[in-house]
Amino acid sequence: MAIREFMAAPPFNKRDLPDNEIEMFDAALTHDSYANEETSRNHTKMSNERLEFLGDAVMELAVREFIYRNTELNEGAMTEIKNSIVCNRNISAQVTKAGMDIDGSLLVGEGHREKRTGNNVVEESMRADAFEAVLGAVYVLYGADEAKRIVHEVFLRGR
């Protein structure tokens, strides 16, 4: 799936992206295995690791703020709820449930492709990391409110 199609779909709903935004989302959807293979071929390709670092913090903040504002729980109980929401297993499951085609959009190295079909083989941690990287890109490009909106839509609605 092309980046423009991926970003036009819910929960992002971003259309008519300028080239600089496409470049950032391209980096967000580039696993380090692909970036490393491209670099070894003398092509420089950024991986999603830096954006994932930022997106992880953005997601944690949005979830922590939601829990703080919507419960009267003590710190330990709030931490347990936060951990259940931001763990890779839950992120991967919710991203899949929301219909985001990260698996088809993520650029991965040969070691993460099925030999027979060429389809991506994306582990739950890779899917979660890629979502966090896209969230980091959303934060950089559109700000905290838009990043929080996405977290609320995918992870916190109905809680």
The residues carrying an active-site annotation are 56, 132
Q: Report d(CA 33, CA 10) in Å as an integer.
A: 27
Whether the CB-CB separation of 10 and 98 falls below 8 Å is answered with yes
Whether the CB-CB separation of 112 and 122 falls below 8 Å is answered with yes
Residue in 144, 133, 139 with CA at minimum distance from that of residue 6: 133
* 50: number of Cβ within 10 Å: 13
For 98, list phi and psi in degrees, rounded to 5: -75, -5
